[in-house]
Structure 1
Amino acid sequence: MMTTLNRRTRTVIYSVIAIVLLVIPVLLALLQSSSMLDTHLTERNQAPSLAHPFGTDWLGRDMLARTMKGLVLSLGVGLTAALASGIIAAVLGLMAASLGRTVDRIITWLIDLFLSVPHLVLLILLAFVMGGGVKGVIIAVGLTHWPSLARLIRAEIMYLKTSEFVLISEQMGRSKWWIATRHLLPHLLPQFIVGTLLLFPHAILHEASITFLGMGLSPHQPAIGIILSESMRYLSTGMWWLAFFPGLCLLIVVRAFDVLAENLHALISPHRSQE
């Protein structure tokens, strides 16, 4: 059936499906009572069942509730960090392309410097310096994920400045503000939105990574990285559900953001919106 639909319709359908997959964890987390996160020793180590679809852990806590709460926390951290990183990338990209060669060289050197340092090492160092916790992780992820998008925005502006329609507008006496709002912004906005959305999968995975290693969020918070880290001690005893379902949900959320970003780019890009 999908093959009979045009590309724009299929893009909208895929985008709606991705949004639904992202909204489901938020709704489930809001609808579940806080008592599901309480300790129930009489129900510990239970395999998945109708009463507990994701099973229970070694303290009798419902893994479905913990997973949904963890996803919502990771979504909040990832979205905030990705947005902060996207804003940094946009500002530095604009400065590099607009403020002359000296500023361009400095920002380009800064981009190369950040890209040359191993990502995970830099994340752990910044999270440790910032004191860990939600604030520390957001700052660390936000300060380390902007270089690639900044380089893309800088290159896009440099290309647009030499385009015929921009040069003709300059010869016709159009102001820089008119050119920026009528020519540059429509081309840069899709790059910024999609680039920021594509930063999110990296942000949430890196947040889960440093939390898994014990350098991120507090162990008292039900983040996906903490849940996966705690489950490692019990996999050898056959409690596979402790890692399987949280890991699968994390994978689905990350893939949903990838699909949403790709299809959103197809919808709002001036080059692809009419396909």
Structure 2
Amino acid sequence: MLAKAASCPLAKRHFLFVFPALDNRKKAWFACLFCAGFFVALFLSAKLLGNSGLDVDFLHRKLPPSLSYPFGTDWLGRDMLTRTVHGLCKSLSIGLLAAACSSIISICFGVMAATMGPRIERLVGMLIDIIMATPHLVLLILVSFACGGGAQGVIIAIAVSHWPRLARIIRAEILQLRHADFILVAKKLGKPPGWIAVHHILPHLLPQFIVGLILMFPHAILHSAGLTFLGFGLTPHDPSLGILLSESMRHLSTGYWWLAILPGISLVFTVKLFDILGNNLRTLFEPRTTQE
């Protein structure tokens, strides 16, 4: 009887009403909420765990993952779960500052290239070509080393090296908006350039800026960890993923796999969540993609 009821067209319509299919926009909202919830839970976990797991405890050194220590312990008896959570929070904080600084540089140079004449446009284009032609890791190391390393050096290095792509997108968007009908009508109505920029151009640039900022997070986090891993980033006293991975390399050959594998998986998972968040925000800001 259940099979007959399920085959009934009325039952099918009722079933679809109870469990409606999610469209792309609703899926994007769920994905964004999940990513935001994970990041909030990560920082709350760092507060709840505190610094007790960071203390040296030689009685519990080099323990494999277990219920008491889900990520195991290191060679000094420190809880690897606590160190990983604090390291992720540190990397996220550095990534936030670096991506925000880089995005601000991008929008400044993009607006300059699109509005200040051909000379400035050629100058900005030449600067973009120079930065993009320089090997990425070499540029990061040089800038970080010149700025003295540490969190400040990492933030400056990432901000200086990551702005060209977003600047090109913003420049192309402004050039397209300059010839839009509503911009031409506003000019004919006598609106000043500042009013047009605030009321017409900036609202169209905001989605591109937010999506570019979010998508810049994975690069900032990975390059921050990479610079620290190579010794040009944070000091060993700062809990970060780069420090954890760098310290664990000397113990991998002795069979202590959890010292690198579990923090590495956590880093990859966090970076992937930022990628998912950026792509779904792009779906929300561009309604055309919801029908694809």
Q: Which residue of the other structure, out of 34, 48, 60, is the alignment partner of 2:51?
A: 34
Q: In the alignment, residue 63 of structure 1 is paired with which amino acid?
A: M
What is the distance in 2 between the residues matched to 1:104 and 1:269? 28
What does residue 70 of structure 2 align with?
53
> In the alignment, what sits opposite 2:7?
none
TM superposition shift of 1:159: 1.3
In the other structure, the counterpart of 1:80 is 97
Deviation at 1:174, TM superposition (A): 3.1
Q: Which has the higher contact order (CA 8 A, sep 6+)?
A: 1
Of 143-152 and 18-27, deviating more is: 18-27
Query: Is residue 196 of structure 1 aligned with residue 213 of structure 2?
Result: yes
Any conservation in 1 of the 2:24–2:290 contact (CA below 8 Å)? no
Alignment match, 2:254: 237
Q: Which moved more, 1:110-119 or 1:21-30?
A: 21-30
CA contact (8 A) 2:173 2:205 kept: yes
CA offset digits 1:49-96 (Å, max 9, x no partner):
111000001111000000001001100001000000000000111111
For 1:86, the aligned partner's letter is S
Say whether the 8 Å CA contact 1:122–1:144 is kept in structure 2.
yes
Which residue of structure 1 lines up, in the alignment, with residue 236 of structure 2?
219
Query: Cα distance 1:270–1:13, how it changes in 2: closer, same or farther (>3 A)?
Result: closer
Q: What's 1:145 paired with?
A: 162
State TM-score, norm by structure 2: 0.89
Q: How far did 1:167 drift?
A: 2.2
For 1:126-163, what per-residue CA distance to the aligned partner results, in whole angstroms no more than 9, with x for missing partners? 11111111111111111111111111111111111122
Equivalent of 2:139 in 106, 122, 133: 122
TM-score, normalization: structure 1? 0.95
AA aligned to 1:76 is S
RMSD after superposition: 1.8
Amino acid at match of 1:223: S
Task: Report the Cα distance in structure 2 between the residues aligned to 1:207 and 1:50, rounded to whole angstroms.
Answer: 31
How far the C-alpha of 1:269 sits from its partner, in A, is 3.5
The residue identity in structure 2 corresponding to 1:41 is F
AA aligned to 2:179 is: T
Match of 1:157 in 2: 174
Q: Is the 8 A contact 1:198 1:258 kept in 2?
A: yes
CA distance in 1, matches of 2:286, 2:196: 18
Unaligned 5+ residue runs, structure 2?
A: 1-15
Number of residue pairs aligned between Structure 1 and Structure 2? 275
1:111 and 2:128 correspond: yes
Query: Where in structure 1 are there 5+ consecutive unaligned residues?
Result: none
Q: Distance in 2 between matches of 1:55 and 1:81?
A: 31
